[in-house]
Structure 1
Amino acid sequence: MVLDVITPDVSRLVEVGETLAQWQVDGGPVHLHPGDLGWYSLRGPEETASSMRIWADGATPSAIGLLDGPQLLRLAIDPARRDDTGLAAWIADSVEDPEGGVFAPGRATVEARGAGALTRALGQKGWHEDEPWIPLSLDLSAPVQPATARIETIGEDRAGDWVSVHWSAFRGTALDDAARQTFINRWLAMTSGPFAPASRHLVAFDQNGEAAAVTTVWSAGAGRPGLIEPMGVHQDHRGRGYGVEITRAGAAVLREMGSSSVVVAAEGSNHGALATYLAAGFVPAAPVADMSRDG
Structure 2
Amino acid sequence: MEIELHTPRTDELDAAVAALRSWQSDDAPLQLHPGDLGWFWQLGAEKTAASVRTWTRDGEIAAVGFLDGPDVLRVTTAPDLMHDEALARRMAADLDDPERGVLPAGKVNAEIPTGAALNESLAETGWDTDEAWTPLRRDLSGPVEDSGLRIEVAGPEDAELRAALQRSAFEGSTFSVERWQAMAEGPAYADARCLIGFDEDGVAVAMVTVWSAGPGRPGLVEPMGVHADHRGRGHGKAICVAAAAALQELGSSSAMVATPSSLVSAVATYRAAGFVPLPERFDRHRAA
Partner of 2:38, secondary structure, is helix
Q: Distance in 2 between matches of 1:86 and 1:132?
A: 27
1:144-166 Cα deviation digits (max 9, x unpaired) = 11111111111010111111111
Shift of 1:14: 1.8
Q: Distance in 1 between matches of 2:117 and 2:10?
A: 30
Which residue matches 2:170? 170
Cα contact 2:164–2:176 (8 A) shared by 1: no
Which residue matches 1:20? 20
* 2:99 is aligned with 1:99: yes
Cα contact 2:219–2:255 (8 A) shared by 1: yes
Shift of 1:27: 3.1
Cα contact 2:26–2:253 (8 A) shared by 1: yes
Look up the equivalent residue of 2:148 and give its one-letter code: T
1:72-92 Cα deviation digits (max 9, x unpaired) = 100111111111111110000
Cα contact 2:109–2:285 (8 A) shared by 1: yes
Which residue matches 1:157? 157
Partner of 1:157, secondary structure, is helix
Look up the equivalent residue of 1:254 and give its one-letter code: L
Shift of 1:17: 0.8
Cα contact 1:30–1:113 (8 A) shared by 2: yes
Shift of 1:13: 1.6
Which residue matches 1:43? 43
Alignment of 1:1-295 (within 5 A): 1-171=1-171, 183-295=176-288
Cα contact 2:144–2:241 (8 A) shared by 1: yes
1:123-155 Cα deviation digits (max 9, x unpaired) = 111101011101100000011111111111110
What is the TM-score normalised by the length of structure 2? 0.97
Q: Distance in 1 between matches of 2:172 and 2:127?
A: 34
Q: Distance in 2 between matches of 1:163 and 1:274?
A: 24
1:85-136 Cα deviation digits (max 9, x unpaired) = 1111000000111111201110011101135311111011110101110110
1:38-78 Cα deviation digits (max 9, x unpaired) = 00001011110111000111321111010111111001111
Task: Determine what percentage of the aligned residue pairs are the same residue.
Answer: 45
Partner of 2:104, secondary structure, is coil
Q: Distance in 1 between matches of 2:88 and 2:38?
A: 26
Structure 2 unaligned blocks of 5 or more = none
Look up the equivalent residue of 2:71 and give its one-letter code: Q
Shift of 1:3: 1.3
Look up the equivalent residue of 1:275 and give its one-letter code: A
Look up the equivalent residue of 2:247 and give its one-letter code: L
Q: Distance in 2 between matches of 1:72 and 1:215?
A: 24
Partner of 2:25, secondary structure, is coil
Partner of 2:110, secondary structure, is strand
Structure 1's consecutive aligned runs of 4 or more residues displaced over 6 angstroms after TM superposition are none
Q: Distance in 1 between matches of 2:216 and 2:199?
A: 33
Moved more, 109-118 or 264-273: 109-118
1:170-227 Cα deviation digits (max 9, x unpaired) = 1168xxxxx6xx7211111101222221110001112332211000000000000000
What is the TM-score normalised by the length of structure 1? 0.95
Shift of 1:244: 0.9
Look up the equivalent residue of 2:127 and give its one-letter code: W
Cα contact 1:14–1:194 (8 A) shared by 2: yes
